Amino acid sequence: MAYDPVIKICGIRTPDILDHVIAEGAAMVGFNAFPKSPRFIEGAGMADLVKRAAGRIETVVLLVDPDDAALDAAAASGAGWLQLHGRETPRRLEAARVRTKKKIIKALPVGSAEDVAAIPAYARVADRLILDAKPPADATRPGGLGATFDWTLLTGLDRSIRFMLSGGLDLDNVARAIREVRPFGLDVASGVEREKGVKDKALISAFIANARAAARE
Q: pLDDT digits over 55-83, tens only?
A: 999 999 999 999 999 999 999 999 999 99
**What percent of the chain stands above pLDDT 90?**
92
**In angstroms, rounded to a whole number, what is the distance separating the alpha carbons of residues 120 and 157?**
9
Assess whether pLDDT exceeds 60 at residue 138: no
Can you tell me the distance from the alpha carbon of 196 to that of 16, in angstroms, rounded to the nearest whole number?
17
Is 132 annotated as catalytic? yes
Q: Which CATH class is domain 6-215?
A: alpha beta
pLDDT in tens, 161-204: 999 999 999 999 999 999 999 999 999 999 999 999 999 999 99
- In terms of DSSP bridges, do strands 81-84 and 58-63 run parallel, antiparallel, or are they unpaired? parallel
Using the predicted structure, report yes or no on whether residue 136 has a pLDDT greater than 70. no
Catalytic residue among 72, 132, 138, 200: 132
pLDDT for 156:
87
Short-list 70, 109, 102, 117, CA closest to 86: 109
For 18-50, write each residue's pLDDT tens digit: 999 999 999 999 999 999 999 999 999 999 999
- Of the residues 4, 10, 48, 172, only one is catalytic, namely 10
| Digit-coded pLDDT (tens) for 43-53 | 999 999 999 99
One-letter amino acid for residue 78 of the chain: G
Return the pLDDT at 151. 97
Predicted pLDDT at 147: 81
The answer to whether the CB of 17 falls within 8 A of the CB of 201 is yes
pLDDT, averaged across the chain:
95
| pLDDT greater at residue 16 or residue 147 | 16
- What's the Cα-to-Cα distance from 2 to each of 102, 169, 176, 213, rounded to whole Å? 31, 20, 14, 9
